[in-house]
Structure 1
Amino acid sequence: MSVIPGDSWRDFSQMFDHTFPAMRPKWEAGVFSPKVDILDKETAFEIIADLPGVDKKDISITYEDGMLTLSASTIQSDEDTDNDKVIHKERYEGKIVRSFTLSDNVQPQDIYAEFTDGVLVVVVPKVEPTKSEPKHIEIS
């Protein structure tokens, strides 16, 4: 596969969290990485990320040194009143980051993205990898 998600530790951590929810570490409470699907299409890779509650203006997509990074932020709402008390809170507010290592068979200059109804779709066009001719190296 030519697009590799950059947070395998997070995936392991989620597996642990689902198996032993009572043992969830406190430091993980503020960490959020959006769920993504990666599709390998004929001419491109598509990365589809769920970003509920995020405004388009708060999303940033960068490519540098073979790494594609999606980041976004949600603003904390302070809607508590004197009579309200939060009993349970699961919706994340803060910074969201997800990174992917791209191989050399993509065209980073042609990457584009669309954002509709809380779903971000990043399209990473592919190129045919150049095959180098075998070369015999003389030993001196």
Structure 2
Amino acid sequence: MTYLSHWNPIRTLLHARPNLDVEAYLRGFEPRVVWAGHDGGALDIRLDLSEDEVAYHVKADIPGVDRNDIDLRVDGNTIHIAAEVKRGPAAKPGEKEIYSERFCGLASRTFSLPGRVDETKVTAHYENGVLTLTLPKKSEGQTRKIAID
């Protein structure tokens, strides 16, 4: 007859070496990030969004991008940010590139705000890899009582 037993390799290891620092021992076995193909290494545009009575405020991290390579579109309450990340020559003459994790290509982010934006008064500022937007809220008009005849 065959008996099944639960084997725990960590417990076996600790019985053999009771003073072993398990975390330090296993540190070399964590999965490595592999940048491959379609989505690997894509630039992730991260946002901070806040609002006050008159406007929405957006801070978007877009590092390594020239301000002329950023495309910003506002349509009602939908905001679209796109940026093209370009890389120069990877290696100097006589050097060979072994490995590169830096992204190059097109990155974009689209999100909706809870209210409409006045597109004519939007301001945008880009400095040190941070795009700062001020998106004034569009007044929905005053509520008015209508007399019924």
**TM-score if structure 2 supplies the norm length?**
0.60
Larger radius of gyration: 2
The gaps in structure 1 that reach 5 residues or longer are 1-19, 134-140
- TM-superposed CA distance for 1:67, in Å, is 2.0
- TM-superposed CA distance for 1:47, in Å, is 1.0
2:125 to 109, 114, 127: 114
Corresponding letter in the other structure for 1:54:
V
1:44 to 50, 55, 62: 55
**Contact map agreement 1:50 1:119 (CA 8 A) in 2:** yes
Residue of structure 1 equivalent to 2:78: 67
- TM-superposed CA distance for 1:60, in Å, is 1.2
Structure 1 CA distance for aligned equivalents of residues 103 and 35 of structure 2: 16
Corresponding letter in the other structure for 1:96:
A
- TM-superposed CA distance for 1:70, in Å, is 0.8
Q: Is the alpha carbon distance of 1:87 and 1:102 closer, same or farther for their aligned partners in structure 2, counting shifts above 3 Å? A: same
Q: Is the alpha carbon distance of 1:41 and 1:132 closer, same or farther for their aligned partners in structure 2, counting shifts above 3 Å? A: closer
The residue correspondences of 1:72-111 to structure 2 (distance < 5 A) are: 72-81=83-92, 83-111=94-122
1:55 to 66, 72, 78: 66
Structure 2 CA distance for aligned equivalents of residues 80 and 23 of structure 1: 21
Q: CA RMSD for the aligned pairs?
A: 3.1
Structure 1 CA distance for aligned equivalents of residues 63 and 101 of structure 2: 13
Aligned-pair identity (%): 25
The gaps in structure 2 that reach 5 residues or longer are 1-30, 145-149
- TM-superposed CA distance for 1:21, in Å, is 6.1
**TM-score if structure 1 supplies the norm length?**
0.64
Tell me, what secondary structure is at the counterpart of 1:28? coil
Tell me, what secondary structure is at the counterpart of 1:70? strand
Structure 1 CA distance for aligned equivalents of residues 33 and 70 of structure 2: 33
Paired residues in the alignment total 115
Tell me, what secondary structure is at the counterpart of 1:57? helix
Residue of structure 1 equivalent to 2:15: none
Higher relative contact order (CA 8 A, sep 6+): 1
